[in-house]
Amino acid sequence: MSNRGISLGELAVRFGCTLKGDPALMVCRVASLETASSDAVSFLANAKYKSYLSQTRAGVVVLDAASADECSVPALISKNPYLTYARVASILHPLPRYPAGIHATAVVDPSAMISADVHIGAHVVVGAGCVIGARAAIYPGCVLGERVTIGADTRLMANVTLCDDSLIGERCIINPNAVIGSEGFGFAPNGALGWVKVPQVGKVRIGNDVEIGASTTIDRGAIEDTVIEDGVKLDNQIQVAHNVHIGAHTAIAACVGISGSTTIGRHCMIAGQVGIAGHLTICDNVVITGKSLVSASIRKPGVYSGSLHVEDANKFRRNAARFAKLDELAKTVRRLSQQQGGAADDEER
């Protein structure tokens, strides 16, 4: 598709846009406003980049009605330009399709059920009792343990590990070196003798349309399962501990750690490096800003924060030293306020 291209007229019809420009013009790829040439689609979704509109050489720009007049080239007018752009781009740049078939070097247990048109790459291992749905693609080096189920049209990038009994839905993308179904971190203390492993007998269940980032790890449940609902998007290097439950359409950025048995609602957005303690409940529609530590349940939708931002290191060091005496400072202020007989102690409200 990216070679032949598509006409602006067809794009307008297909995605319900108003076209300003010649419907016969063809585009075959995407590009940014700055670098686009006339064979490329670009988009404007952030007012910050509006100044590029008058100079772009793109074949067409996807934008909203308010910006159309400033655009010097053809425009596809959409109520949601970024969403429309995503759909146009997915037509021009589909994920690669590998031919159906099982590579000669793959080791597939005879008991595995492989549906039609599945691609299994070089050096893949598929264990006993696995079930692979139609058109799934398993890239080189992936290892599927026993009784792993993969839904139709799901794609495992290279070197992914799916441990025994993992269930993956349809149309998922699992990025390289991710691990699903590893041992949960469960140990019973035994005094001076250390720790005794608690067998982790649950599994991981992942819904449809889930994307999982590179080197993200999702542990199997201790007794019940770890669950990722439909449409969840997990970035790279996220850690999901045993028995976590993530609600549908929640998006989580890279390097987040979620401790065991925590339940996260639907349509949440969790920014990078957030840490979430165990056994908590976070309701639907919660946004958590980067690097926050969530140590109590969140019962109300909203935006939550808990992290300090950088400043000059010397200044920060002085402030941090004051922070270490902040409790005493607050007490001093309260006392001063009382001595002055001023308004009621507003720091205690």
Contact pick of 52, 67, 103, 134 for a second copy (by CB under 8 A)? 103
Segment 83 to 102, residues that bind a second copy, using CB under 8 A? 83, 85-87, 89-90, 92-96
**How many residues in the shown chain lie near a second copy by CB under 8 A?**
143
Contact pick of 7, 50, 123, 263 for a second copy (by CB under 8 A)? 123
Contact pick of 125, 131, 152, 283 for a second copy (by CB under 8 A)? 125
DSSP state of 318: H
- Of the candidate spans 5-13, 52-60, 130-138, 282-290, the one that interacts with a second copy by CB under 8 A turns out to be 282-290
Just list the catalytic residues. Answer: 242
Report how far residue 27's alpha carbon sits from residue 93's, in angstroms, rounded to the nearest whole number. Answer: 12
CA-CA distances (angstroms) from residue 119 to 97, 135, 186? 9, 7, 36
CB of 72 to a second copy, least distance (A): 20
DSSP state of 14: H
Query: Would you count residue 148 as binding a second copy (CB under 8 A)?
Result: no
Query: Would you count residue 198 as binding a second copy (CB under 8 A)?
Result: yes
Query: Would you count residue 129 as binding a second copy (CB under 8 A)?
Result: no
Segment 167 to 186, residues that bind a second copy, using CB under 8 A? 173, 175-177, 179, 182-183, 185-186
Report how far residue 141's alpha carbon sits from residue 322's, in angstroms, rounded to the nearest whole number. Answer: 53
Segment 284 to 323, residues that bind a second copy, using CB under 8 A? 287-296, 298, 302-323
Query: Would you count residue 151 as binding a second copy (CB under 8 A)?
Result: no
Task: Please give the span between the terminal C-alpha atoms of the chain, in angstroms, as a whole number.
Answer: 64
CB of 93 to a second copy, least distance (A): 4
Closest C-alpha to 270, from 246, 249, 248, 286: 286
CB of 327 to a second copy, least distance (A): 4
DSSP state of 150: E
Query: Would you count residue 331 as binding a second copy (CB under 8 A)?
Result: yes
Report how far residue 271's alpha carbon sits from residue 325's, in angstroms, rounded to the nearest whole number. Answer: 30
Residues 6+ apart with CB under 8 A from 231: 207, 208, 209, 210, 248, 249
Residues in a beta bridge with 137: 119, 155
Contact pick of 5, 129, 140, 301 for a second copy (by CB under 8 A)? 140
- Of the candidate spans 20-28, 51-59, 130-138, 340-348, the one that interacts with a second copy by CB under 8 A turns out to be 340-348
CB of 173 to a second copy, least distance (A): 7
DSSP character string of 58-118: -SEEEE-GGGGGG-SS-EEE-SSHHHHHHHHHHHHSPPP-PPSEE-TT-EE-TT-EE-TT-
Query: Would you count residue 145 as binding a second copy (CB under 8 A)?
Result: yes
Segment 242 to 271, residues that bind a second copy, using CB under 8 A? 248-249, 251, 253-255, 257, 259, 267
Contact pick of 272, 281, 283, 284 for a second copy (by CB under 8 A)? 272
Query: Reduced to 3 states, what is the DSSP secondary structure of residue 42?
Result: strand
Report how far residue 93's alpha carbon sits from residue 97's, in angstroms, rounded to the nearest whole number. Answer: 11
Contact map string, positions 210 to 239, toward a second copy, x by CB under 8 A: -x-xxx-x-x---xx-----xx-x-xxx-x
CB of 306 to a second copy, least distance (A): 4
Segment 52 to 71, residues that bind a second copy, using CB under 8 A? none
Report how far residue 168's alpha carbon sits from residue 149's, in angstroms, rounded to the nearest whole number. Answer: 6
Report how far residue 220's alpha carbon sits from residue 203's, in angstroms, rounded to the nearest whole number. Answer: 4
